[in-house]
Amino acid sequence: MIEALVIENLALERGGRLLFSGLSLELPAGRAAALVGRNGAGKTSLLRAIAGLVPLAEGAVRFGSLDAVDARAEHIHLAGHQDGQKPARTAWEELAFWARWSGASETAAREAAARLELTRLLDLEVRRLSAGQRRRLSLARLLAAPRALWLLDEPLSPLDADWRARFGEIMGEHLAGGGMIVAAVHDPLPIPALTVEIGETAP
């Protein structure tokens, strides 16, 4: 379990351009942070930097007492627009694979699909799903394999009002269970969250 996500004096660069610098954040277990900022401010880059995909120009990211490599291998979920789901494969094949790759059983994947009301869609090819259904399919992986830290890139954007509320409940349960959420958003999250402005500190 990760006790806290700690970001210290972080600076990120993309393509030689400084996105932001001096970002510090301490997120204890059970709390959520909403990253807000204009397009291109570096919200997605920050999520990818926490996931270890983007090198840090300056500063540090710590996962409580856990080693960063272990934390990224077993304790982080990353979910965004690029969901890695292949259009020609069926929804079940994709969910089952990504759930297993995250260490979950097939039973857990089926339960997650039922929770997100995907069961009757599982035989369809991913290309036949609507944008909202496809997003729910990629979020089902988060329910199937419990991991402490969810990094979500615009998680609610393709969802309808009903599903936004229901995913809000799911996020609330995740926090109540000691989890953490860092989400890049343009609309407010339906859960209490610490707002972090990205890009304000850039010169």
Partner 1 sequence: MSRAMALLSREAALAWGRGGGPMVSLAFYAGVATLLPLATGPEPARLAAIAPGAAWVALALAALLSLDRLFERDYEDGALDLLTLSSVPLEIACAIKCLGQWLATAAPLAFAAPVAAIALGAKPHLAPLIFACALMGGLAFAFVGGIGAALSLGARRGGLLTAVIVLPLFVPPVIFGGGALDSFAGGLPWKAGFALLAAYAAAAVALGPIAMAAACRNALS
Q: Which amino acid is it at 85?
A: Q
By CB under 8 A, name the one of 40, 84, 178, 192 that touches partner 1.
Answer: 84
Nearer to partner 1, 43 or 191 (CB): 43
E-strand spans in the chain? Answer: 4-14, 17-28, 32-36, 58-63, 76-79, 149-153, 180-184, 194-197
Min separation Cβ 100 and partner 1, Å: 4
Neighbouring C-alpha atoms within 13 Å toward the C-beta of 65: 2
User: Residue 142's closest CA among 80, 51, 66, 54?
Assistant: 80
Q: Which of residues 138-197 bind partner 1 (CB under 8 A)?
A: none
By CB under 8 A, name the one of 15, 88, 120, 176 that touches partner 1.
Answer: 88
User: Residue 96's closest CA among 72, 78, 122?
Assistant: 122
Min separation Cβ 140 and partner 1, Å: 14
**Calpha distance 197→86 (Å, rounded):** 34
| 122 counts as binding partner 1 under rule CB under 8 A | no
Min separation Cβ 94 and partner 1, Å: 9
| 62 counts as binding partner 1 under rule CB under 8 A | no
**Calpha distance 86→125 (Å, rounded):** 9
| 67 counts as binding partner 1 under rule CB under 8 A | no
- Contact residues for partner 1 (CB under 8 A)? 48, 51-55, 72-74, 76-78, 80-86, 88-89, 93, 96-98, 100-103
